[in-house]
């Protein structure tokens, strides 16, 4: 495979921001099997978890030592819990959105969807790394970058989805994805509440 078909990671990062549809074409051309795509997604989650744990160690130093602090520390101070939650949500969200896209007439493959989801997560991890570097010296700028990351995520999600499934409008993809994610979030919130109820017990 030539360098044009397999660009370097920095080049693919730049291509993702300049031409997301071309990025999808590059990733699809790799023919990544489903199991390898899941492994790539897991690796991206692990990298993101490590960065989130380190960033939380800096960000929580000025928080009051109360129950809320203990809850944040329990979540971000335990990489295994954070990775399991993030990985589970990403995997469930990827499959869920893929099924929704298929019902809407999309023509993408699950293996490509997982591979593109892994790459999207890696793009966010790179932004997260920059945030972690800025946090101790410029927390305000780090926060603005976090807001930009949210916008970049939804923009890339719409562009990647349009290219992968052959839809005509990124806005259609974005609207469908946000609606599907909303239903998924409500379901996960209900499940989380049930787990907390059973784990913590009902107050007397």
Which residues, including other chains, have CB under 8 Å from residue 147's CB and lie 6 or more apart? none
Number of separate domains in the chain = 1
What is the sign, positive or negative, of the torsion defined by CA atoms of 32, 34, 36, 42?
A: positive
In a domain, 29, yes or no: yes
In a domain, 155, yes or no: yes
Average pLDDT, the chain: 80
Identify the domain containing residue 144 by its residue range. 9-200
pLDDT at 22: 94
Pick from 43, 42, 12: nearest CA to 27: 12
Which tokens belong to 129?
């790394």
Residue of 23 and 92 predicted with greater confidence:
23
In a domain, 3, yes or no: no
CA-angle at 144, arms to 140 and 148, nearest 5°: 165
The whole-number average pLDDT for the span 90-109 is 87
Residue 71 reports pLDDT greater than 50? yes
Residue 181 reports pLDDT greater than 80? no
Residue of 4 and 170 predicted with greater confidence:
170
In a domain, 131, yes or no: yes
Residue 193 reports pLDDT greater than 80? no
């Amino acid at each position: 495979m030539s360098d044009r078909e397999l660009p370097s990671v920095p080049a693919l990062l730049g291509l993702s921001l300049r031409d997301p549809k071309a990025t999808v074409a590059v990733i699809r051309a790799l023919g990544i099997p489903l199991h390898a795509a899941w492994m790539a997604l897991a690796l991206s989650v692990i990298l993101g978890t490590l960065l989130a744990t380190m960033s939380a160690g800096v960000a929580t130093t000025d928080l009051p030592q109360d129950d809320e602090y203990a809850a944040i520390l329990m979540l971000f101070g335990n990489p295994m819990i954070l990775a399991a939650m993030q990985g589970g949500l990403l995997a469930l969200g990827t499959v869920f959105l893929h099924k929704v896209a298929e019902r809407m007439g999309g023509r993408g493959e699950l293996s490509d969807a997982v591979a593109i989801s892994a790459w999207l997560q890696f793009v966010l991890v790179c932004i997260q790394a920059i945030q972690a570097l800025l946090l101790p010296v410029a927390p305000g700028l780090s926060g603005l970058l976090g807001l930009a990351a949210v916008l970049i995520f939804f923009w890339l999600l719409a562009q990647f989805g349009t290219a992968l499934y052959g839809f005509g409008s990124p806005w259609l993809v974005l609207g469908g994805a946000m609606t599907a994610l909303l239903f998924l979030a409500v379901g996960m919130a209900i499940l989380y509440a049930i787990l907390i109820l059973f784990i913590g017990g009902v107050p007397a």
